[in-house]
Amino acid sequence: MKKLFGTDGIRGEAGVFPLDAPTIEVIGYSLAGRLREKLGRLPLIVIGRDTRESGEWIEQALTAGASRAGAEVRSAEVISTPGVAFLARSLTADAGVVLSASHNPFHDNGIKIFAPSGRKLDGETERLIERDVFESPTDRPSTITMRPSEAGNEAEVLKTRYLDFLANEIGKNLSLDGLRIVVDCANGAASKTAPQLFHQLGATVTAINSKPDGRNINLDCGSLHTESLQKEVLKHRAALGIALDGDADRSLFVDANGQLANGDATLWVLAKYFRDQGRLNENTVVATVMSNIGLELALKSQGIKLVRTDVGDKYVLEELLQTGASLGGEQSGHIIFPELSLAGDGLITTLCLLRAMIVEGKPLHDLTAGFHTFPQILLNVKVKEKRPFDEVAAIRKAASHIETQLGSRGRLLLRYSGTESLARVMIEGESQDAIEAQAQELAETIREALGH
């Protein structure tokens, strides 16, 4: 059977299968029906969306399908992905649904479903929903009628509930008085919430890219494009710049010198802070295979262990829960604190970083000292087959030779793309020239063995 769900829900171009209105109605109907079968009662679903122009009609389509199956649907309207995860947990809902394509451009959208715990929907239910979609008639018409949102006051109540959680629980006893902050909202879901949160805690806030128009989400702004934020931090002499993405589940930072701190740098700062506070469980940080070896070596110098997972916050969370570790994340700025939330939350990450800066009495630039990003190169090689690399003698020999050359001060990651006929060669080391030559050599070996 074909798959609809990837590692981050269903994602694609809005209006095109499976994100056309009739299919979305089936997804809503199936989700509510499957929950009803499991629970033995009518389910409660909480829903939210980012600022894409397609979000409202997608929400109406999904709500129509879920309501037809008997579900009660409560809408927070525009709210972040972790905001929906929080509401699903705090309202004891049976599922939370986010309509967002995260950092993708406006013409894309997606459906991400959370369990009440804040974890993403289980694979078994995903497969059942996929079956329902592919077994439904292909010529089914949409039954939705576009109308103004009826959520109104309830949506504001739900958003306030989330904001109060951030300010009064995560930000408890955190005073930002006298602190100047610039926040790039990516014209996304946190365009109102983020400035309001930091202002409420006492900061002087300059918000940029906080006027969404349905089409400017992530457009040359946010966590993928930090250049304007870096300039604004210097212009306003701010202590910190915060770059969110469209659904605000990740955050990158800019220090007072205008230098960017990515997710690896954030993990470095918070790992030391958590350790000093007695909160770094298992003395371990969880990251993915894409985190720079510089993070691994820096943590090792502090006696902290780094455990790596496959790419994806889903795998980071699984490892966190399995090991009992309290801090993990991705280079992209998606950080997870399982004791606070099982969903990555750019605003929670920011509050934790601000607390570390204030408790330590140091600017971000000083806190990131000791972490050095090693040069990295990534090459993609077209292949005709995806044989295990270890089974190809020439590739195995070339990779082994490079790993010997790199020693403990470098890293080779060789893997296939999950969606394309590509082999990915990633090498990190102390010399850019050396790793480029090594990567080209290995790429040519792969091309000769698998690319003809």
Domains belonging to the chain, first-starting first, are 10-157 (3.40.120.10), 171-367 (3.40.120.10), 376-450 (3.30.310.50)
Catalytic residue among 54, 102, 210, 223: 102
Q: What are phi and psi of 101, to 5 degrees?
A: -115, 30
**Cβ proximity of 37 and 140 under 8 Å:** no
What secondary structure does DSSP assign to 223-269, as a single string? GG--HHHHHHHHHHT-SEEEEE-TTSS-EEEE-TTS-EE-HHHHHHH
CA quadruple 342, 345, 348, 352: dihedral positive or negative? positive
The CA distance from 98 to 345, in Å, is 14
Q: Which residue has the higher pLDDT, 440 or 141?
A: 440
Question: Mean of the pLDDT values across residues 317-322?
Answer: 96
pLDDT more than 90, % of the chain:
90
Band (pLDDT 50/70/90 cuts) for residue 126 is: very high
pLDDT value of position 418: 74
Residue type, 282: E
368 has a pLDDT exceeding 70: yes
Beta carbons of 378 and 435 less than 8 angstroms apart: no
3-state class of 120 per DSSP? strand
CA distance 343 to 284: 19
pLDDT, position 449: 94
**Annotation says 228 is catalytic:** no
Mean pLDDT for 102-119 is 92
3-state secondary structure of 358: helix
Q: Which pTM value belongs to this model? A: 0.92
Looking at residue 242, its amino acid is: I
Residues 19 and 11: their CA atoms lie apart, in Å, by 8
Identify which of 392, 369, 365 has the alpha carbon closest to the alpha carbon of residue 381. 392
Encoded tokens for 64? 């129509």
Residue 143 reports pLDDT greater than 60: no
Gyration radius from the chain CA atoms: 23
